[in-house]
Each structure stands twice: as C-alpha cells, then as structure tokens.
C-alpha cells in the first residue's frame, strides 16, 4: 500500500465523514470491487431496498465468508507455529533429557524378554547421555521413518547404526563414525578347505550365495564374476544352504556372517575379519547445529581412546555372551 493512499481528513459531522469514506472507497482505482458499500447507521438496508443498498442476508453471508477466511488463516498460522523443530545442543542441555531415535535390529537395538530395550546402540546412548549429565529418552521408529522423526524435531539424535551416505547427508548432519558394519564373507570350512585367497573363490568350481537385490549381490558379481552366483530371498535360507554345503560362500551384512560362524564354529568360518565392503555408521543430528556435531565427534574420540567404544562393540558384535 502506497503512503497516503487511504488517508482521509476527518472532520464535520458523522454523516459527512461517512460520505467522504464512501466516496474514497468508490473512487479508489486500487480498491477491490467486492468491498461492501458503507451504510449510514440511521439508514439500515433491507433486501431489495435499492441498487446501492446491501441486504442484511448478503452482508451476513459476506461477514460469514470473511470470518471463515480469517479462521483458516489463523489455523494455518497456528499450524506453522506449532510445527516441531529440532533442538540445538544448548536447548538439549537446558532441557535435561536427550531424546534418542533407535530402530530395532539385533544387536544394534532390540527388546529383551521383559520388553526392555537393550543392544549396542542402547548402551551407547545411555553412556552418551550420562557423559552429558542428561536423562535418556528412547523413541523407537521403523527404519524408513527415523530420519523424518529427526527432521520433525521429535528426537535430538539418531543412534541406529545409520550408515553415512551423501544422500542421507542432504537431510541430517553426521558425526564421525563410531562403528563400522558392512558386507562380510562367510565360508563353508569343508568345501573351501583348499581356498587360501579371495581370488581362489573366483572360479566356476565354487558357488557364492547372496540375498537377491542386496548390496551383497552386487559385490559378489564384482568380486567373483566367474563363480556361480546363487541368490536367496532371505538370510535364513542362505545360511541353511551354507551349513548344508549347498553353497561354498555366503556374502551378507554384518553381523549375520560373524554370528553364523560363532554359532557353527566347526562348519563356518569368516576368513577375512574386516568387511569387504565397509559401511561406517555415525550419529545423526539436525542440520545447522555444528556445536552438536563437534561435541559428538569429541565424545567418540574420547570413548575410542579409553577403549570403551571398541570393547562395547566387540561384546555385541564379536561374541554371543549377550544372548545368555
């Protein structure tokens, strides 16, 4: 609105002021044509009382329409104002509780027979909150909802073995890695007794198993193009085939190959201890909070230096003692 566009010099009687306002509204080129006519208070208008009169019903309809529009606008503003947003580090410290998002996938996170959360990420989150002098609050998400939960401000940090990828980094801010998973090779000890290297497995004599459509399938095609590739629908079927000697090797994400070897040490081996395709995992927080990321990086460095992180990871991923 331009300065002075609607300025009116007030003075004279009420009828004169109303007449000037009416003339201003009707002659203004920028005034919307849908604005109602102004009526002097002592001249009530009735339906059909003249071409310039506004009927009571018409005025009521317009007022109702304006009230509805204002209500919708207020609702929209309210919704915008109520949209949750991620809390920066200082607000988390002030609040006194660290809200952690987890996803159930043993042994990262799972429920014990009593229904309590347990697992590697549960230990990590509790230690992190303890070092921050905070209480911890866990929020369990389906895997495909956990990043949206962070973006919506429902949680402060994701601790769920979340692999660091460029695609995810468009939505979250990652810490440095605090754990590493990835694709590992399990072999049948009897059928691969003459194998001494990965190159030996790349032979038409051997059969390598993988889950159809997985990253392990792609890796198997790259590493063992000459070997026969046998695809399965799930890990249980592929594991059974390896135990039965129907396949000689099996590629899958950790900890499946390691646990298979720990459960069947006389039949299965993991000849290469490190993942063939490593996937580092980091904490994820909302973008735009470098202080939070800096703190998490420092915490990881400190807990690696005092061996707490590697020993805790080893307990959950290199042993089966936690099953007792």
Q: What is the pLDDT of residues 100-143, one digit of tens each?
A: 999 999 999 999 999 999 999 999 999 999 999 999 999 999 99
* Residue 84 confidence (pLDDT): 56
Same domain assignment for residues 209 and 260: yes
All residues at 6 or more sequence positions from 105 whose CB lies less than 8 Å from its CB, including other chains: 143, 160, 161
Same domain assignment for residues 136 and 209: no
Residue 171: is its pLDDT beyond 60? yes
In the chain, the number of structural domains is 3
Same domain assignment for residues 231 and 266: yes
Tokens describing residue 315: 């307990």
* Residue 211 confidence (pLDDT): 98
296 found inside a domain: yes
Residue 312 near residue 214 (C-beta atoms within 8 A): no
CATH number at residue 99: 3.40.190.10
Residue 71: is its pLDDT beyond 50? no
d(CA 97, CA 197): 50
C-beta pairs of 76-85 under 8 Å, 24+ apart in sequence: 83/153, 84/152, 84/153, 84/154, 85/153, 85/286
302 found inside a domain: yes
* Residue 145 confidence (pLDDT): 97
Sorting pLDDT into bands at 50, 70 and 90, what band is 272?
A: very high
Same domain assignment for residues 197 and 62: no
Boundary-marking domain end, from 82, 100, 116 = 82
Distances from the Cα of 65 to the Cα of 26, 72, 174, angstroms: 22, 11, 49
* Residue 324 confidence (pLDDT): 85
Residue 32: is its pLDDT beyond 90? no
64 found inside a domain: yes
- Could you read off the pLDDT of 212-230 as tens digits, one per residue? 999 999 999 999 999 999 9
Q: Which domain holds residue 166?
A: 89-172+286-323
Same domain assignment for residues 104 and 167: yes
* Residue 273 confidence (pLDDT): 86
Same domain assignment for residues 297 and 160: yes
* Mean pLDDT computed over every residue of the chain: 82
* Residue 9 confidence (pLDDT): 34
Same domain assignment for residues 105 and 228: no
5 found inside a domain: no
Boundary-marking domain end, from 63, 82, 101 = 82
Residue 111 near residue 118 (C-beta atoms within 8 A): yes
Same domain assignment for residues 219 and 134: no
Same domain assignment for residues 93 and 74: no
Residue among 288, 238, 298, 291 at smallest CA distance from 268: 238
Mean pLDDT of 167-185: 97
* Residue 126 confidence (pLDDT): 98
d(CA 109, CA 123): 9
1 found inside a domain: no
Same domain assignment for residues 66 and 214: no
Mean pLDDT of 40-61: 38
9 found inside a domain: no
3 found inside a domain: no
252 found inside a domain: yes
Residue 301: is its pLDDT beyond 80? yes
Boundary-marking domain end, from 30, 57, 82 = 82
Same domain assignment for residues 197 and 167: no
* Residue 41 confidence (pLDDT): 35
Same domain assignment for residues 186 and 259: yes
* Residue 80 confidence (pLDDT): 38
Mean pLDDT of 194-208: 96
Spell 120-155 as b/e; 16+ CB within 10 A means b: bbbbbbbbbbeebebebebebbeeeebbebbbeebb
* Residue 97 confidence (pLDDT): 97
| Residue % of the chain over a pLDDT of 90 | 73
């Amino acid at each position: 609105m331009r300065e002075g566009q609607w300025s009116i010099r007030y003075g004279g009687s009420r009828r004169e002021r109303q007449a000037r306002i009416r003339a201003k509204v009707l002659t203004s080129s920028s005034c919307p044509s849908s604005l109602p006519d102004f009526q002097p208070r002592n001249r009530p208008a009735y339906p059909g009382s003249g071409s310039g009169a506004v009927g009571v019903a018409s005025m009521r309809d317009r007022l109702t329409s304006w009230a509805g529009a204002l209500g919708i606008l207020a609702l929209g503003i309210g919704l915008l104002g109520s949209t949750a947003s991620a809390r920066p580090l200082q607000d988390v410290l002030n609040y006194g509780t660290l809200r952690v998002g987890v996803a159930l996938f043993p042994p990262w996170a799972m429920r014990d027979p009593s229904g309590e959360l347990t697992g590697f990420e549960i230990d990590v989150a509790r230690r992190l909150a303890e070092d921050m002098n905070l209480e911890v609050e866990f929020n369990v998400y389906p895997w495909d909802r956990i990043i949206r939960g962070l973006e919506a401000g429902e949680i402060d940090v994701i601790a769920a073995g979340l692999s660091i990828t460029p695609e995810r980094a468009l939505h979250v801010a990652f810490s440095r890695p605090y754990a590493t998973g990835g694709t590992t090779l399990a072999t049948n000890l009897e059928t691969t007794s003459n194998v001494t290297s990965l190159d030996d497995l790349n032979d038409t004599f051997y059969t390598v198993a993988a889950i159809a459509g997985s990253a392990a399938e792609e890796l198997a095609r790259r590493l063992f193009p000459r070997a026969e590739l046998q695809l399965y629908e799930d890990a249980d079927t592929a594991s059974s085939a390896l135990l039965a000697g129907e396949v000689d090797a099996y590629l899958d994400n950790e900890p499946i190959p390691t646990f298979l070897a720990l459960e069947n040490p006389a039949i299965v081996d993991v000849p290469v201890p490190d993942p063939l395709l490593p996937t580092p995992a980091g904490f994820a927080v909302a973008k735009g909070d470098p202080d939070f990321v800096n703190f998490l990086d420092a915490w990881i460095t400190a807990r690696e230096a005092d061996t707490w992180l590697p020993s805790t990871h080893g307990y959950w991923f290199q042993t089966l003692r936690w099953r007792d």
